[in-house]
Amino acid sequence: MFSACQGFYDAALDILRSALERFPTSCRHSSIWMTCEQQIRFTAALHRGRLSVAEEAIDNLASVAALEAAYW
């Protein structure tokens, strides 16, 4: 099984797109996949040396889970 932890960021984001179909943003459980999506985007951006994209991911994460964003 491939995961974002192994560097398969695009595959992980594909899985999260599937979660979007099942749990739209209006669903109370959508914050779980939205949090994961921003964490993956942040990590991928750091590994690719794109600091502005990483900062954007943190800003997006703060709108979903403010406490979580404070740790990243």
| CA 51 – CA 45 distance, rounded (Å) | 6
Number of Cβ atoms within 10 Å of the Cβ of 52: 8
Number of Cβ atoms within 10 Å of the Cβ of 44: 20
Which pLDDT score, from 0 to 100, does residue 67 have?
A: 92
Please report, for residues 14, 24, 32, 46, 55, the alpha-carbon distance to residue 28 in angstroms, rounded to integers and kept in the order given: 21, 9, 9, 29, 26
**Token couple for 23:** 């749990």
| CA 14 – CA 32 distance, rounded (Å) | 15
Which pLDDT score, from 0 to 100, does residue 51 have?
A: 96
Which pLDDT score, from 0 to 100, does residue 39 have?
A: 93
Q: Domain boundaries in the chain? A: 18-71
Residues of the chain where predicted confidence (pLDDT) is lower than 70: 1-2
pTM of the model: 0.84
